[in-house]
Amino acid sequence: MDACDWMVMETVHHDDNALVASVIIPVYNKEKFLARCFDSLKAQTLPLEKFEVVLVDDGSSDDSLRLCQEFARELPHATVIAKENGGVSAARNDAIAQAQGTYLFFVDPDDGLSPNVLEHVSTFFDAHFSEVDLVTYPIISIDEKGRHRALHYRYDIMKTTGVYDLTSGDGIYICQTTVNVCVKNTTPKPRFDFVSHNGVEFHEDQQFITDILLPKMKIGYCKDAAYYWYDNDESVTSQRKTAYYLFDNTMFMYEQLFARFQDAVPQYVQSLLVNDIGWKLRQNALLPTYLAGEAYEKELGRLVALLKRVDDEVLINHPNVHEYHRYYFINLKDTGKLSVLANENGVALLRGEKVLYENETIELLVMRVRIRHGRLKMMTVVKSPVLPNFEGDVSVWMRTTTSEGEHEEPLVLTDSSRSRIATKDVVSRFFDARIDIDLARSTGQVSFFAKLDDVVVPIRLAFGINAEIAEALDGTWFADGWLVRMQHELPHISVSRISKKEERKMRTAMNLRVKSKAVMLTRFAVDAALARKRKSKRPIWVYTDSARSLDNGWKQFLHDQKKHDGVSRYYAANGIDLADPRLKGVDGVVPFHGKRHKMLFCLADKLLCSDIDRGSYHAFGMKLARSFVNYFNAEIIYLQHGVLWAHMPWYYSYDRTLCDFEVISTPFENKNLCQNYGFAESDLIPCGMTRYDYIDAAKQPERKILVCPSWRSYLVGKLKKNGRSGLKQRFLSSDYYKEVQALLSNPKLQQALETHDFELELKLHPQFKMYEDLFHFEHDRVKLAPTQVDETEYAIVLTDYSSYSFDFVYLKRGIIYFIPDPEFVFNGSNHYSQLDIPLDNAFGEYAENADEAVDALVRLMEHDGKPLAPYREKMERFFYHYDDHQGDRLYEFLTKNRTFS
Residue 722 has pLDDT above 70, yes or no: no
User: Are residues 231 and 262 part of one domain?
Assistant: no
Domain limits at 180? 21-235
Residue 238 pLDDT: 57
User: Does residue 298 form part of some domain?
Assistant: yes
Residue 695 has pLDDT above 50, yes or no: yes
CA max distance for the chain: 93
Amino acid identity of 43?
A
Residue 826 pLDDT: 79
User: Are residues 548 and 491 part of one domain?
Assistant: no
User: Are residues 67 and 203 part of one domain?
Assistant: yes
Residue 467 has pLDDT above 50, yes or no: no
Q: Which of 646, 661, 692 is the last residue of a domain?
A: 692
Query: How far, in Å, CA of 277 to CA of 243, rounded?
Result: 11
Is the model more confident about 118 or about 498?
118
Is the model more confident about 852 or about 823?
852
DSSP assigned state of 615: G
Residue 236 pLDDT: 54
Q: Band the pLDDT of 413: cuts 50, 70, 90.
A: very high
Torsion of CA 654, 655, 661, 662, to 10 degrees: -30
Which of 96, 186, 98, 91 minimizes the C-alpha distance to 134? 186
User: Does residue 523 form part of some domain?
Assistant: no
Residue 290 has pLDDT above 60, yes or no: yes
User: Does residue 835 form part of some domain?
Assistant: yes
User: Does residue 836 form part of some domain?
Assistant: yes
Q: Which of 179, 211, 235 is the last residue of a domain?
A: 235
Of the chain, the percentage scoring pLDDT greater than 90 comes to 70
Q: Which helix (H) or strand (E) holds 512?
A: helix 500-513
The CATH number assigned to the domain holding 852 equals: 3.40.50.2000
The CATH number assigned to the domain holding 104 equals: 3.90.550.10
β-bridge mates for residue 608, sequence order: 543, 637
Q: Band the pLDDT of 897: cuts 50, 70, 90.
A: low
Residue 8 pLDDT: 40
Coil/strand/helix, residue 117:
helix
Query: How far, in Å, CA of 79 to CA of 60, rounded?
Result: 17
User: Are residues 668 and 583 part of one domain?
Assistant: yes
- For residue 515, give every residue at least 6 positions away whose Cβ sits within 8 Å of its Cβ, in sequence order, or none: none
Amino acid identity of 468?
E
β-strand pairing of 21-27 with 134-136: unpaired
Residue 471 pLDDT: 47
User: Are residues 138 and 34 part of one domain?
Assistant: yes
User: Are residues 822 and 750 part of one domain?
Assistant: yes
Q: Band the pLDDT of 4: cuts 50, 70, 90.
A: very low
Contact status, residue 678 vs residue 432, Cβ threshold 8 Å = yes
Coil/strand/helix, residue 779:
coil
Length of the chain: 901
Average pLDDT rounded to a whole number, residues 826-834: 77
- For residue 249, give every residue at least 6 positions away whose Cβ sits within 8 Å of its Cβ, in sequence order, or none: 196, 197, 198, 200, 202, 203
Q: Band the pLDDT of 251: cuts 50, 70, 90.
A: very high
DSSP assigned state of 376: E
Which of 699, 664, 698, 693 minimizes the C-alpha distance to 559? 693
Coil/strand/helix, residue 478:
strand
User: Does residue 867 form part of some domain?
Assistant: yes
Residue 533 pLDDT: 87
Q: What phi and psi, each to the nearest 5 degrees, are found at residue 578? A: -65, -15
Is the whole-model pTM more than 0.75? yes
Average pLDDT rounded to a whole number, residues 523-534: 87
Query: How far, in Å, CA of 670 to CA of 675, rounded?
Result: 8
Query: How far, in Å, CA of 458 to CA of 344, rounded?
Result: 7
The CATH number assigned to the domain holding 660 equals: 3.40.50.11820
User: Are residues 294 and 272 part of one domain?
Assistant: yes
Average pLDDT rounded to a whole number, residues 468-496: 72
Which of 526, 586, 530 minimizes the C-alpha distance to 560? 586
The alpha helices in 681-746, defined as continuous H runs, are 728-732, 735-744
Rg over CA atoms, the chain: 31
Residue 332 has pLDDT above 60, yes or no: yes
Instruction: Quote the strand ranges of 257-385, DSSP E.
Output: 339-343, 346-351, 354-359, 362-372, 375-383
Q: Which of 178, 202, 235 is the last residue of a domain?
A: 235
Coil/strand/helix, residue 466:
helix
- Pick from 118-122, 632-636, 693-697 the range whose average pLDDT is largest: 118-122
Mean pLDDT over each residue of the chain, to the nearest integer: 91
Residue 713 pLDDT: 83
Is the model more confident about 58 or about 149?
58
User: Are residues 321 and 306 part of one domain?
Assistant: yes
Residue 473 pLDDT: 45
Q: What phi and psi, each to the nearest 5 degrees, are found at residue 363? A: -95, 135
User: Does residue 846 form part of some domain?
Assistant: yes
Residue 509 pLDDT: 84
User: Does residue 204 form part of some domain?
Assistant: yes
Q: Is the dihedral of CA 160, 165, 169, 170 positive or negative?
A: positive
Amino acid identity of 268?
Y
Residue 819 has pLDDT above 80, yes or no: yes
User: Are residues 473 and 547 part of one domain?
Assistant: no
Indicate the number of domains in the chain.
Answer: 5
Helix 293-307 × helix 243-258 angle, to 10°: 40
Residue 863 pLDDT: 94
User: Are residues 91 and 29 part of one domain?
Assistant: yes
Average pLDDT rounded to a whole number, residues 241-268: 94
Residue 901 pLDDT: 29
Q: Is the dihedral of CA 15, 16, 20, 23 positive or negative?
A: negative
The CATH number assigned to the domain holding 482 equals: 2.60.40
Coil/strand/helix, residue 778:
coil
Q: Is the dihedral of CA 523, 588, 553, 583 positive or negative?
A: negative
Which of 700, 725, 759, 736 minimizes the C-alpha distance to 818? 736
Average pLDDT rounded to a whole number, residues 878-882: 95
Sheet holding 162-165, edge to edge: 78-83, 51-58, 21-27, 103-106, 181-184, 134-136, 218-221, 162-165
Residue 427 pLDDT: 97
Q: What phi and psi, each to the nearest 5 degrees, are found at residue 638? A: -85, 110
Q: Band the pLDDT of 721: cuts 50, 70, 90.
A: low
User: Are residues 461 and 447 part of one domain?
Assistant: yes
User: Are residues 831 and 752 part of one domain?
Assistant: yes
420-463 tens-digit pLDDT: 999 999 999 999 999 999 888 888 889 999 999 999 999 998 87
Contact status, residue 191 vs residue 88, Cβ threshold 8 Å = no
DSSP assigned state of 868: P
Alpha carbon distances (Å) from 840 to 76, 118, 179, 558, 818: 64, 59, 46, 38, 11
Average pLDDT rounded to a whole number, residues 257-280: 97
Residue 899 pLDDT: 42
Residue 823 pLDDT: 80
User: Does residue 16 form part of some domain?
Assistant: no
Query: How far, in Å, CA of 592 to CA of 603, rounded?
Result: 15
Coil/strand/helix, residue 203:
coil
Residue 603 pLDDT: 93
16-31 tens-digit pLDDT: 778 999 999 999 999 9
CA angle 454, 455, 459 (to 5 degrees): 120
363-392 tens-digit pLDDT: 999 888 888 888 889 999 999 999 999 999
Residue 584 has pLDDT above 90, yes or no: yes
- For residue 684, give every residue at least 6 positions away whose Cβ sits within 8 Å of its Cβ, in sequence order, or none: 661, 662, 663, 664, 669, 670, 673, 674
Contact status, residue 724 vs residue 769, Cβ threshold 8 Å = no
Residue 5 pLDDT: 41
